[in-house]
Amino acid sequence: MLELRLVQGSLLKKVLESIKDLVTDANFDCSATGFSLQAMDSSHVALVALLLRSEGFEHYRCDRNISMGMNLNNMSKMLKCAGNDDIITIKGDDGSDTVTFMFESPNQDKISDFEMKLMDIDSEHLGIPEAEYHAIVKMPSSEFSRICKDLSSIGDTVVISVTKEGVKFSTRGDIGTANIVCRQNKTVDKATPLSESVTVSLSSELPVVVEYKIADMGYIRYYLAPKIEDDEEEMKS
């Protein structure tokens, strides 16, 4: 039996919104450690890894490890029906082919049960080796999001270069080129939906890791494979 009660239910809503456009179907894995997910995007360029640690839940009961295959779009439809202040409880029974999301309004006046069909999803867990990164940049997530959005209007790829002075994002497209330099010590001044800051970890031979902390309970990490060298050269030339 599975019963996970999350008082700040809006966290789960936001987590799902940040994954569902990248991944269609995925297995959520429940263990004594926490509620987690690992999935590749459909183009196999990005790996998403989510962890919500058990300590972050008000109530966490998971009798045995269980993996539940969910269509993230359907899951999102249901979670959108939860109010932003609602308490969300995830319930499952051993051997059942459904999962139940229960939403309780703060004053207990409205109680909703949404039961969703599970699906069988083949997935292999990739071991992600701990790695040492040459550069780690922590910046306001709102700033990072703005830069990605801005550059995507100019070009398709981005080169991230880190020096002691700051981090440079560069792109090139049909209409011209763009370089954005953020100097070190930029203060965090805005909040974004999920997390105030983002950490970008880089090594020349490894996937970039973009990590958002989720309150005190976990993280979402995006591992992004680098473009092959031909393109990088073209960008730098």
Q: Which residues bind a copy of itself (CB under 8 A)?
A: 71, 74, 77-78, 80-81, 98, 108-117, 143, 150-151, 153-154, 175-183, 185-187
Least gap, CB of 39 to a copy of itself (angstroms): 19
Which CB sits closer to a copy of itself, 53 or 146? 146
Shortest CA distance to 39 belongs to which of 162, 136, 126, 144? 126
Cα dihedral sign for 137, 142, 143, 149?
A: positive
Chain centroid, CA 117 distance in Å: 23
User: Are the CB atoms for 82 and 101 separated by under 8 Å?
Assistant: yes
Which CB sits closer to a copy of itself, 32 or 81? 81
Shortest CA distance to 88 belongs to which of 116, 63, 119, 111? 111
Least gap, CB of 162 to a copy of itself (angstroms): 15
In the block, which residue shows the tokens 């983002």? 198
Both tokens of 33, joined, read 């450690």
Question: Alpha-carbon distance 57 to 36, whole Å?
Answer: 13
Least gap, CB of 189 to a copy of itself (angstroms): 10
Which CB sits closer to a copy of itself, 68 or 214? 68
Beta-bridge partner residues of 70: 26
Least gap, CB of 97 to a copy of itself (angstroms): 11
Which CB sits closer to a copy of itself, 175 or 228? 175
Least gap, CB of 138 to a copy of itself (angstroms): 14
User: Are the CB atoms for 80 and 13 separated by under 8 Å?
Assistant: yes
Question: Alpha-carbon distance 33 to 148, whole Å?
Answer: 33
Least gap, CB of 104 to a copy of itself (angstroms): 10
Which CB sits closer to a copy of itself, 43 or 107? 107
User: Are the CB atoms for 194 and 220 separated by under 8 Å?
Assistant: yes
Which CB sits closer to a copy of itself, 43 or 185? 185
CB-facing half-sphere around the CA of 177: CA atoms within 13 A: 8
Question: Alpha-carbon distance 53 to 33, whole Å?
Answer: 6
Which CB sits closer to a copy of itself, 110 or 236? 110
